């Protein structure tokens, strides 16, 4: 039955059937051929897949991010980052990365982060004499920080599927997200130095203060979300809604770049993106039900354990699989497809679910900037009009640096687990 399931799935994918439907249909074929289970069960499983209050955090985080992006936040974050570090060698590249880190704390998605900051930064970088490819690679790679810095839609998905605490996952993403920011800045600095990309004139203290003041309302948003969740004031889903309302209020009254018509447009577009992700979650629910009932993860675990029983080896094998999967799967797809397979294995060898969740999101974040299917690359191509081939080449130094960081995080769990362990509220 497991073989039928995978063969059917792969054939459907090759035929270009949408992945959500391929997940449901391959399960249906396996059920029809090997059991006399009623297909009604499948419909119930699909329905049950999205009948979850926690999953509702996803549409609200998408909506909050889109509202903030339309409300004029990106410009303000870029200005603030600019006054802080614009003076350094490769200033504009560093500014892009720091602005992406700020923006990641508002948005839960990597492509959205690349789109928001890329739209503001690519042109000024070109004008300043940076190569187009380098500018595009910078915003593509920096966008992935958005997946690690809370809130993160990918982490919500993992948390729901693996049953891990979303609050803890969010906290655990902070340090790796910041390290990612520093690592990428290191790469940018080195390249800029070699190519002689200069910095801007240093900003005065007054300018720093003014740009801080104009972006403070946006920077407060993550504090409201995280503080609210850990203070026991709201659930992650409620925190996401509060973020939406907060975004609407500052967009309407403080930054005055939103109006009712724009909000309705954003609502509908965010609803559409939500449906794409959640439909996938719904149909994946049948798929993972069959995986579990056939004990496929357990069999895979046996196989891996026969190679090595060392948790670290298992961890690395999974990381390699994830990096590979990330090159052609969108990260939401990879999470809903692979968490039910890999999570039981990590439980068996005693790997912490929060630790593993962050590593998984990190590995898949790298997949967002690897060809052939890297959403951040596509977004950056669109903005900069650089071809995907040239961009794929320019992004290599960033990729190497991120993979090195991933290995380090694998070896030192305390880096990821420090905040969730020591956070006392």
Partner 1 sequence: MYTILKRINKIADKFAKFIVSLSFGTMTLLIFAQVIFRYVFKESLSWSEELARYMFIWLTFIGASVATREKTHINVAMFVNNLKSPKVKKTFILLANVLSMFFLGVLVYYGFNIASQVLKFNQVSASMPFLKIGFVYFAVPIGSLIMFFNLIEINLAVIKDENEEGGLH
Q: Which two tokens stand for residue 330?
A: 């969108």
Q: Determine how many CB atoms are found less than 10 A away from the CB of residue 231.
A: 9
Least Cβ distance, residue 145 to partner 1 (angstroms): 22
Tell me, what DSSP letter sits at residue 150? S
Q: How many residues bind partner 1 (CB under 8 A)?
A: 58
Tell me, what DSSP letter sits at residue 318? H
Of 233, 225, 234, the closest CA to residue 107 belongs to 225
Least Cβ distance, residue 330 to partner 1 (angstroms): 5
146 within 8 A of 112, measured Cβ to Cβ:
yes
Tell me, what DSSP letter sits at residue 108? S
Least Cβ distance, residue 132 to partner 1 (angstroms): 25
Q: Could you say which of 300, 373, 403, 419 contacts partner 1 (CB under 8 A)?
A: 373
Q: How far apart are CA 145 and CA 114, in angstroms?
A: 9
Q: Which two tokens stand for residue 162?
A: 């693996």
Q: How far apart are CA 101 and CA 417, in angstroms?
A: 20
Return the number of the residue (208 or 388) whose C-beta is nearest partner 1.
388
Residue 21 found at the interface with partner 1 (CB under 8 A):
yes
Window contacting partner 1 (CB under 8 A); options: 232-240, 309-317, 361-369, 380-388: 232-240
Window contacting partner 1 (CB under 8 A); options: 192-200, 330-338, 350-358, 405-413: 330-338
Return the number of the residue (13 or 210) whose C-beta is nearest partner 1.
13
Q: Which two tokens stand for residue 195?
A: 């190519």
Q: How many helices (H) and strands (E) does the chain have?
A: 22, 0
Of 279, 221, 362, the closest CA to residue 18 belongs to 279
Window contacting partner 1 (CB under 8 A); options: 42-50, 88-96, 205-213, 317-325: 42-50
Cα 144–147–151 angle (5° rounding)? 145
Return the number of the residue (63 or 69) whose C-beta is nearest partner 1.
63
Residue 30 found at the interface with partner 1 (CB under 8 A):
no
Window contacting partner 1 (CB under 8 A); options: 56-64, 128-136, 150-158, 302-310: 56-64
Q: Could you say which of 175, 244, 319, 379 contacts partner 1 (CB under 8 A)?
A: 244
Residue 52 found at the interface with partner 1 (CB under 8 A):
yes
Residue 230 found at the interface with partner 1 (CB under 8 A):
no
Residue 423 found at the interface with partner 1 (CB under 8 A):
no
Residue 252 found at the interface with partner 1 (CB under 8 A):
no
Residue 55 found at the interface with partner 1 (CB under 8 A):
yes
Q: How far apart are CA 421 and CA 33, in angstroms?
A: 48
181 within 8 A of 145, measured Cβ to Cβ:
yes
CA 352 to chain centre: 20
Residues that bind partner 1 (CB under 8 A): 12-21, 24-25, 28, 38-40, 42-44, 46-47, 50-53, 55-56, 59-60, 63, 233-234, 237-238, 241-242, 244-245, 264, 267-268, 270-276, 278-280, 282, 328, 330, 332-333, 372-373
């Amino acid at each position: 039955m497991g073989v039928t399931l995978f063969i059917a799935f792969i054939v459907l994918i090759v035929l270009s059937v949408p992945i959500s439907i391929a997940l449901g249909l391959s399960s249906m074929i396996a059920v029809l051929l090997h059991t006399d289970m009623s297909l009604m069960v499948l419909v119930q499983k699909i329905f049950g897949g999205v009948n979850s209050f926690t999953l509702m955090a996803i549409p609200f985080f998408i909506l909050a991010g889109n509202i903030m992006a339309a409300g004029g936040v990106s410009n303000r974050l870029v200005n603030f980052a600019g006054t802080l570090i614009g003076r350094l060698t490769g200033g504009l590249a560093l500014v892009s990365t720091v602005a992406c880190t700020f923006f990641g704390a508002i948005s839960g998605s990597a492509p959205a982060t690349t789109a928001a900051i890329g739209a503001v930064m690519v042109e000024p970088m070109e004008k300043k004499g940076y190569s187009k490819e380098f500018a595009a690679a910078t915003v593509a790679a920096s966008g992935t920080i958005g997946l690690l810095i809370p809130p993160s839609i990918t982490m919500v998905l993992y948390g729901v599927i693996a049953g891990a605490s979303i609050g803890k996952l969010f906290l655990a993403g902070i340090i790796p997200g910041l390290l990612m920011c520093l690592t990428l800045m290191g790469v940018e600095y080195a390249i800029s130095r070699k190519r002689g990309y200069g910095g801007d004139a240093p900003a005065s203290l007054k300018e720093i203060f003014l740009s801080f003041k104009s972006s403070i309302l946006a920077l407060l948003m993550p504090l409201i979300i995280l503080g609210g969740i850990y203070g026991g004031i709201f659930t992650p889903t409620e925190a996401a809604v509060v973020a939406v309302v907060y975004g609407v209020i500052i967009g309407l009254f403080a930054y005055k770049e939103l109006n009712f018509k724009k909000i309705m447009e954003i609502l509908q577009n965010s609803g559409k993106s939500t449906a794409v992700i959640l439909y996938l979650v719904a149909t994946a629910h049948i798929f993972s039900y069959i995986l579990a009932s056939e004990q496929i993860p357990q069999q895979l675990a046996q196989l891996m354990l026969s190679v090595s029983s060392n948790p670290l080896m298992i961890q690395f094998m999974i990381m390699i699989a994830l990096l590979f999967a990330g090159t052609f799967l969108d990260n939401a797809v990879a999470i809903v497809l692979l968490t039910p397979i890999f999570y039981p294995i990590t439980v068996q060898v005693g790997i912490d679910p929060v630790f593993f969740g962050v590593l998984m999101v990190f590995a898949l974040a790298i997949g967002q900037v690897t060809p052939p299917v890297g959403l951040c690359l596509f977004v950056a191509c669109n903005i900069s009009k650089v071809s995907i081939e040239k961009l794929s080449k320019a992004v290599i130094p960033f990729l190497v640096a991120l993979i090195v960081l991933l290995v380090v995080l694998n070896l030192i769990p305390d880096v990821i687990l420090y905040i969730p362990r020591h956070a006392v509220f």
